[in-house]
Amino acid sequence: SQKLAQARSEGKTTFSFEFFPPKTAQGVQNLYDRMDRMHGYGPQFIDVTWGAGGTLSQLTCEMVKVAQSVYGLETCMHLTCTDMEKSKLDEALKDAYQAGCTNILALRGDPPREKEKWEATSGGFRYAKDLVKYIREKYGNHFDIGVAGYSEGCDDNPDVDQLVDHLKEKVDAGATFIVTQMFYDVDLFIQWVGKCRAKGIEIPIIPGIMPISTYAAFLRRANWMKVNVPPKWTKALEPIKNDDAAVRDVGQVLVAEMCRKLVDAGITHLHFYTMNLEKGTRMVLEELDILPDAESPQQKPLPWRPSLGLN
């Protein structure tokens, strides 16, 4: 967050990339190569999601270590708390600490399917705020701690106002930044940020941006996350839905427009859900014209006007 504050004071819009642990060894190597290339775009940090289950969670720790200490990327490790043993959690935090990682995105994780048998795991973790508190108690201020925000409700709670109250609890427990679920409706997002600010949530709010690869994936993700698709988007994309290249081109313009609107509203950092792909994210950054190039090797500033004072 110090780096974010510095970029903000320079009036720069910054960005970050999220990756997830791939299932095969070849996939992991390909991803390292891609992460290394995308390092050249100048992200403020990269995230590695927490892969639920034994092997994938080990891979998250391994990837954080490699990204941080071999590729020199500022790394943020996602960590969930209700779906695994406390000893695993301690190990993951220790690994991150030893790798020089100083950012954790603290999450609850998905609840077990048989809800009637649900009990908190040993260690008393029931909600993400319990993990935030635990990390603060154990590691003081070593880690910047992020938490998840939902501008249009989440899977098990559609009540946006109640979720803002629960978000405030996570902030009060010691979170220092918020990353949101993906969305397409900027107006709803801006309204929600206003609600958060009115509740006294003052830490940076980082919108999660999902580039568009195909029409089917675009719709599927909106349905999964139960987020609104503004009519303008459907009108632009539906007629070309069978032409993937055209969908990507139009999608890039729509997503870049959305990013500009966010920046104009005072948002200073954009978080890209890369889905482990380079192209979609690169296209949006090109459309925004903030990628470094031979003439300007430093990331170009995207001027922002904090007109609504959201950040």
With contacts defined by CB under 6 A, name the span among 45-53, 117-125, 249-257, 299-307 that binds ligand FAD: 45-53
Q: Is 154 in the site for ligand FAD (CB under 6 A)?
A: yes
H or E segment at 169?
Answer: helix 160-172
Tokens encoding 64: 């954080």
When binding is defined by CB under 6 A, the residue of 41, 50, 143, 177 that contacts ligand FAD is 50
Minimum distance of ligand FAD from residue 20's CB (angstroms): 7
Tell me the number of residues near ligand FAD by CB under 6 A.
25
38 vs 92, which CB is nearer to ligand FAD? 92
The residues, ordered by sequence, that sit 6+ positions from 147 with a Cβ below 8 Å of its Cβ are: 105, 106, 107, 128, 129, 132, 167, 170, 171, 175, 177, 178, 179
**Residue 18 appears among annotated catalytic residues:** yes
**Chain position carrying tokens 């403020």:** 44
10, 18, 238, 287: the catalytic one is: 18
Site string for ligand FAD, 117-136 (x = CB under 6 A): ----------xx--------
Q: State the Cα–Cα distance between residues 306 and 77, nearest whole angstrom.
A: 29
Q: State the Cα–Cα distance between residues 191 and 203, nearest whole angstrom.
A: 16
Q: Is 223 in the site for ligand FAD (CB under 6 A)?
A: no
Contact 60, 51 (CB under 8 A): yes
Q: State the Cα–Cα distance between residues 105 and 48, nearest whole angstrom.
A: 9
Site string for ligand FAD, 75-94 (x = CB under 6 A): ---x-x--------------
Residue type (1 letter), 128: A
Q: Is 243 in the site for ligand FAD (CB under 6 A)?
A: no
When binding is defined by CB under 6 A, the residue of 33, 90, 137, 155 that contacts ligand FAD is 155
Q: Is 179 in the site for ligand FAD (CB under 6 A)?
A: yes
When binding is defined by CB under 6 A, the residue of 39, 142, 166, 248 that contacts ligand FAD is 166
Q: State the Cα–Cα distance between residues 265 and 286, nearest whole angstrom.
A: 21
Q: State the Cα–Cα distance between residues 102 and 75, nearest whole angstrom.
A: 7
- The residues that touch ligand FAD, with contacts defined as CB under 6 A, are 49-50, 52, 78, 80, 105, 107-110, 127-128, 148, 154-157, 162-163, 166, 169-170, 179, 181, 208
